[in-house]
Amino acid sequence: MRVLLFGRLGDIAGWRERTLDPAPASLAALKAMLAREDLPLAQALDGPGVQAAVDKRIVRGETTLADSAEVAFLPPMSGG
Amino acid sequence: MIRLADAPFDPAAELGRFCAGRTESGAVASFIGIARGEQGQATALELEAYPGFTEAEIARCAEAAAARFSLQDVLIVHRWGRIAPGEPIVLVATASAHRREAFEACDYLMDYLKSRAPFWKKEHGPAGPRWVEPTARDLDDLARWG
């Protein structure tokens, strides 16, 4: 599983991309795993406006994850 | 067409190509966003994108705009990476049979890009870098469209 962090989330964690093997089986399990190593990151992931995308599709709520999934955490977006 | 550019682009040349050969478009409206220097307080902007996802999300919005405003065509060129003050960040161009739809679609697309397009913007200045998130004004602008 690839995990990607964007924007300020990458600065908080000190990494922007990681491969996890074995892979957590759900979004909740992934967040719990990250929380065990990095509480500030876990708090930021639960912060306002942070969305998750699995295989480049936004997911709302809980979801199971395939071993090959690409999971991205997206803080509030701003272009232009 | 949606394009992400990792180097400076020439909005006039892009717009020239977009307008070429349009015998049935009565109107092309365009907007160019340019990185502000903030009187020396912003030395550079750094835009992060999620390749694949970012283009797909912008394309989805462009399709919605095309349907809502009866557009014939849309062009969006958006920079990512490090952008110096004075460099164009974004070009939006819309083509339609009549001007009102082209103007409104351009406005709509910019409101979307400011608050919903998958980019993360870091402003570098004398006080160090800071992440820029949509302002209350940006969110109010987007809410105008329902």
A5 pairs with which residues across the strands? Answer: A73
Which of A6, A74, A78 faces B132 most closely, judged by CB atoms? A78
Q: What would the pLDDT profile of B8-49 be if each residue is shown by its tens digit?
A: 999 999 999 999 999 999 999 999 999 999 888 889 999 999
Query: Which residue of chain A has the CA closest to B36?
Result: A80
Q: Do B120 and A6 touch (CB under 8 A)?
A: yes
- Give the dihedral sign, CA A7/A10/A11/A15: negative
State the best of B4, B120, B130, B135 to mutate against chain A, taking most chain A CBs within 10 Å.
B120
Q: How far is CA A24 from the centre of its chain?
A: 12
Sequence-distant (6+) residues with CB within 8 A of B143 are none
pTM: predicted TM-score of the whole model, two decimal places: 0.92
Structure tokens at B8: 């400076």
* ipTM over 0.90 threshold: yes
DSSP string covering B25-80: --EEEEEEEE---GGGT-SEEEEEE-TTHHHHHHHHHHHHHHHHTT-SEEEEEEE-
Mean per-residue pLDDT, A42-57: 95
A48 at B interface, C-beta within 8 A: no
Structure tokens at B38: 């903030």
Q: Which residues in chain B have their CB less than 8 angstroms from residue A3's CB? A: none
